[in-house]
Amino acid sequence: METEKIIIKYLIENKKELTIRALANDIKKDYKIVNVATNRLIMKGILGKTNVGRSILISFNSKLTEEILVVEYQRRNEILRNKNLNIINDIIRENLDTVNYILLLFGSYSMKKQNKNSDIDLMFIVNDEGAKGEKYEKKIGDIIDLFPKKVHPIVLNENEFRNMMDSKEKNVVKEVINNNIILHGIEAYYELKNDK
């Protein structure tokens, strides 16, 4: 079970197809154990597989399951050990007058490559459009101003997020999808990402 969590975490953080042997090497686990765990995850629908010649490539299916939810909470709790991130997450939760939002950490902090001068990149996804969406953008800006460290917030509504996700052009949403840690709204994020 622990190997399964390690595999899920690795594939969430490294969105690529790879062979079971390459996965075993990357996560530094015995091939036989990884093979058994991978096949269990394929049977549960958490991983997908593609036959390429004599090799089988595995990839992450982004449908939310209990196992994925557990791993996402672990990732969130791990990153919130960072004092600055924990404080800003608490400030946002306490001052935003709704629980209906998605908050994603991206950039250097989500890749764990930050330094003391790095700003904190956050994406808020709200389900309101128009005047209400603008209200949240102002409210979030006011909340961010309470925090002494430089924070770079991006506020989108769900339609803007979907449009950017479906765009052929490179954009910030595609960057965020490839590398993020979900600070709030795990289930809502997976629903939005998979809602096509």
pTM of the predicted model as reported, rounded to 2 decimal places: 0.89
Identify the CATH class of 2-60. mainly alpha
Enter the tokens of residue 34: 């990884």
Cα Rg for the chain, rounded, in angstroms?
A: 18
* pLDDT reading at 139 higher than 70: yes
CB 61 within 8 A of CB 45: yes
Least confident of 22-26, 117-121, 131-135, 191-195: 131-135
Going from N- to C-terminal start, the domains of the chain cover: 2-60, 74-194
CB 27 within 8 A of CB 4: no
Least confident of 71-85, 86-100, 170-184: 86-100
CATH number of the domain located at residue range(s) 74-194 in this protein: 3.30.460.10
What does pLDDT average to over the chain? Answer: 90
